[in-house]
Structure 1
């Protein structure tokens, strides 16, 4: 009897690097979520960011991001399809906050650059994975042809 290990698909180096990338983003999302929770409950900023002391736009943004970031972190860590979707929602919200309303939320240029870099790297990974799958499919078709 043959071992079952032959039935499991082999992961390519690209797949492994993509999972490492997603887990790195997951750790940063968890960090962002903890920062927002720390702000909302008054742990950080010497209590000045407590929910009851924030103006309305910050209340909406901070409470939403305090929930979305940890959930996105879980999805990214598990490498499920909804993880990057939630990350895009959270990162897009932060980009909208700091780019669209700097008079309310301030201007965090480093955060904006980081989100754009991570999104670009994600697109590069997905494109490379798509090209690799296409190449493998072409090889299978060539082998199957008489």
Structure 2
């Protein structure tokens, strides 16, 4: 097939499609996580950590930061922009520090931290697998 420039178009590689799928799935998950943090901020549910005015100071710092970063990372990943992966890495680092480094304050969330790590490692592996194709160009 010839493109508009007269040169042959390259077929999309499976690696590109897999990256797009991983980014879009992570984007939906990050939007859901953002909604979770926003419901905590606006106090939809009653409970000790479910309303901003009843949270301890460490949750009052973490919750607004994550409520903003989660949707931003989701938009970046949905657009498959490189800055989306950077923001997602920042979210992962913050939550890993919270739940692994300060588990006495924030509690443990191994599934949440593990899913972030799994997604980022999957993107890293796809990036490494794409290096030979990029070198051929």
Instruction: Give your verdict on TM over 0.5.
Output: yes
1:76 counterpart residue number: 77
The structure with the largest helix share of the pair is: 1
2:86 counterpart residue number: 85
Shift of 1:112: 2.0
Q: CA-to-partner distance for each residue in 1:53-79, whole Å, 9 max, x for gaps?
A: 111110111100000000110000001
Work out the CA distance in 1 between the residues paired with 2:129 and 2:29: 23
Shift of 1:132: 2.2
Shift of 1:42: 1.0
Aligned Cα root-mean-square deviation (Å): 1.9
2:125 counterpart residue number: 124
1:32 counterpart residue number: 33
1:142 counterpart residue number: none
Work out the CA distance in 1 between the residues paired with 2:42 and 2:123: 32
Work out the CA distance in 2 between the residues paired with 1:70 and 1:3: 36
Work out the CA distance in 2 between the residues paired with 1:85 and 1:62: 19
Contact 2:22–2:119 (CA<8 Å) still a contact in 1? no
Work out the CA distance in 2 between the residues paired with 1:6 and 1:17: 28
Distance 1:58 1:16, change over 3 A: same
Q: Which has the larger radius of gyration?
A: 1
Secondary structure of 1:43 counterpart:
coil
Work out the CA distance in 2 between the residues paired with 1:81 and 1:112: 21
Shift of 1:47: 4.7
Secondary structure of 1:11 counterpart:
coil
1:106 counterpart residue number: 107
2:64 counterpart residue number: 63
User: How many residues are paired up?
Assistant: 134
1:54 counterpart residue number: 55
